[in-house]
């Protein structure tokens, strides 16, 4: 949330309803995009009029049944963490590495975001041990999948390349918006690990931070020209901020 506005709310809502349908879950009664927005703004008002924040919306199955739920109805919680930025910023660059023994394999649920985050926790702890800001995960075929909490793009000339959903990556909101925004300048395909070292830039995307760029991977330094351009474009398109 920037200045109490939620960029990409439509994309978040679409992912939410898609996920509910995929797992045969039923959204709460009277829960819709407008009511969600109103609840978030009410929460912001109850917390000293927070204007810029990271919003976490978490659903859980209600009722009993353990692995065989006796009800498909969902409950939910909304939490809010204030941040000090009111626009997307590309940051100062990430030092990244790869972990090749923690695979993200494709499956019928690999593209949805769920609370089973053990793999990402282990990747994040490993990154901290190695002195990295980001850990890039691969699938069982050794192809690039995603980051700890981000989708990944590489830059080749004026083109962007990102792993397709068949790689096992999360179907991220910012990923989807960037694919729509850039049109035929984005290609979805398998990315081999060696291509990262050959790329002009490596970009990580998520809905909270927007565009983040990789400054260093395996000792190689990368530029950030495209990351800066895309960040300016996001701020212009989503919030009407002048470039």
Task: Give 183-221 as a DSSP string.
Answer: GGGEEE---BHHHHHH-SEEEEEETTTEEEEEEEETTEE
Which CA distances in Å does 68 have to 156, 210, 219?
47, 37, 48
The overall pTM is greater than 0.75:
yes
Are the beta carbons of 72 and 63 closer than 8 angstroms?
no
Q: Where are the domains of the chain?
A: 9-82, 94-239
The predicted-structure confidence for 3-28, as pLDDT tens digits, reads as follows 999 999 999 999 999 999 999 999 99
Residue 160: how many other CB atoms lie within 10 Å: 20
Output phi, psi for 144, to 5 deg.
-65, 135
Cα 233 to Cα 242: distance, rounded to the nearest angstrom? 9
Cα 166 to Cα 18: distance, rounded to the nearest angstrom? 17
Domain 94-239 has CATH 3.20.10.10: yes
Cα 197 to Cα 176: distance, rounded to the nearest angstrom? 25
The predicted-structure confidence for 50-65, as pLDDT tens digits, reads as follows 999 999 999 999 888 8
Q: What is the CA radius of gyration of the chain?
A: 18
The predicted-structure confidence for 195-227, as pLDDT tens digits, reads as follows 999 999 999 999 999 999 999 999 999 999 999
The partner residues of 62 in beta bridges, in order of sequence, read none
The predicted-structure confidence for 102-152, as pLDDT tens digits, reads as follows 898 899 899 998 888 899 999 999 999 999 999 999 999 999 999 999 999
Residue 243 has pLDDT above 80, yes or no: no
């Amino acid at each position: 949330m920037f200045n109490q506005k939620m960029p990409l709310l439509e994309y978040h809502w679409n992912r939410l309803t898609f996920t509910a349908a995929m797992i045969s879950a039923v959204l709460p009664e009277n829960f819709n995009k407008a009511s969600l927005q109103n609840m978030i703004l009410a929460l912001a008002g109850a917390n000293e009029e927070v204007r810029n924040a990271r919003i976490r919306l978490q659903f859980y199955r209600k009722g009993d049944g353990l692995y065989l739920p006796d009800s498909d109805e969902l409950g939910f919680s909304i939490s809010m963490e204030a941040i000090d930025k009111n626009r997307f910023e590309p940051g100062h660059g990430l030092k990244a590495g790869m972990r090749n023994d923690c695979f993200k394999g494709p499956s019928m649920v690999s593209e949805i975001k769920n609370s089973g985050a053990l793999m990402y926790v282990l990747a994040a702890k490993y990154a901290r041990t190695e002195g990295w800001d980001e850990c890039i995960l691969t699938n069982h075929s050794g192809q690039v999948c995603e980051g700890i909490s981000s989708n990944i793009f590489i830059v080749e000339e004026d083109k962007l390349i990102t792993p397709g959903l068949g790689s096992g990556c999360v179907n991220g909101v910012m990923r989807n918006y960037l694919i729509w925004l850039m049109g035929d300048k984005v290609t979805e395909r398998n990315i081999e690990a060696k291509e990262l070292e050959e790329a002009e830039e490596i970009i990580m995307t998520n809905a909270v931070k927007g565009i983040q760029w990789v400054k260093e991977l395996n000792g190689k330094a990368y530029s950030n020209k495209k990351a800066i351009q895309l960040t300016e474009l996001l701020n212009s398109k989503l919030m009407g901020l002048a470039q």
